[in-house]
Amino acid sequence: MSLNLEAGLRSGAQALGLNLSEAQVQHLLDYMALIQKWNKVYNLTALRDPADMLTHHLLDSLTAIAPLKRHTQGQAIRVLDVGSGGGLPGVVLAICMPELNVTCVDTVAKKAAFVQQVAASLKLPNLRGIHARVESLTEPYAVICSRAFASLPDFVTWSRSALAEGGVWMAMKGKHPQDEITALPADVHVFHVEPLAVPGLDVERCMVWLRPEVSSPA
């Protein structure tokens, strides 16, 4: 079974144009094993089948890597993953982009504790899980991301106090969320929407990039 998962992960990463090291592949497989091991205790995901977890969670999260790399250009920045649950995509970002400093925030204490456990088990010094409401965070993050978390207006409104000056939001969505984009606050601007293809999954996905409008001096 694990060989099949590993083959699926490797071919998926290849399809996404990702050049993962052996250590990163192993970390991702170990992370999936931890999700499976602790799922009953922490209620991390409704999915139970490892093959489904691979496509719906791991490969789905991996689609964020290439767009984020294009954005960061190798810079060591702080990333906040909002409503991270069991750490998707935050843990995947921390594994595949070790230059990032990734914080996963969730209002469910058990899920934040699980991310902390992953960081310890996989020895990821650039990953932490915190139990909090995102509205209470004020430390500045250059990128704030979410995956299937909330509507875009709620996402940007709730997390705004944590957005660094010059920072951006990166929202992973299903089909193009035009209604949500229309409902955004007037001072939030969508500057890019890119389609994402998840290997082995025939679904619509896209990444929505947003930033606050810079008010021009009067």
Q: With respect to residue 104, please indicate whether it lies within any of the assigned structural domains.
A: yes
Is residue 192 situated within a structural domain?
yes
DSSP secondary structure, the chain, as one string: -HHHHHHHHHHHHHHTT----HHHHHHHHHHHHHHHHHHHHH---S---HHHHIIIIIIHHHTTHHHHHHHHTT---EEEEET-TTTTTHHHHHHH-TTSEEEEEESSHHHHHHHHHHHHHTT-TTEEEEES-GGG--S-EEEEEEES-S-HHHHHHHHGGGEEEEEEEEEEESS--HHHHHTS-TTEEEEEEEEE--TT----EEEEEEEEPPPPP-
Query: What is the pLDDT at residue 40?
Result: 81
For residue 62, the cross-strand partners are: none
**Within a domain: residue 218?**
no
The pTM (predicted TM-score) of the whole model is 0.95
Does residue 1 have a pLDDT over 60? no
Half-sphere exposure (CA, 13 Å, Cβ side) for 12? Answer: 27
Please say whether the beta carbons of 146 and 172 come within 8 A: yes
Domain that holds residue 154: 2-212
CA neighbor of 175 nearest in space, from 146, 195, 200 = 195
Q: What is the pLDDT of residue 148?
A: 83
44 pLDDT band, cuts 50/70/90, is confident
| pLDDT, tens digit, 9 for 90 and up, residues 121-147 | 999 999 999 999 999 999 999 999 999
Quick one: pLDDT at residue 217? 55
What are the tens digits of pLDDT across the range 53-109? 899 889 999 999 999 999 999 999 999 999 998 999 999 999 999 999 999 999 999
- 43 has pLDDT over 90: no
Instruction: Tell me the average pLDDT of the chain.
Output: 94
CATH number, domain at 140? 3.40.50.150
Average pLDDT, stretch 20-49?
89
Q: Would you say residue 169 lies in a domain?
A: yes
**Percent of the chain topping pLDDT 70:** 97
At 42, the pLDDT band (50, 70, 90 cuts) reads: confident
Is there a domain that residue 168 lies in? yes
Residue 78 lies in a domain: yes
Structural domain contains residue 217 = no
Average pLDDT over residues 209-217: 82
Q: Is residue 133 part of a domain?
A: yes
Count up the domains in the chain and report the number: 1
Query: Taking residues 169-186, what's their average pLDDT?
Result: 97
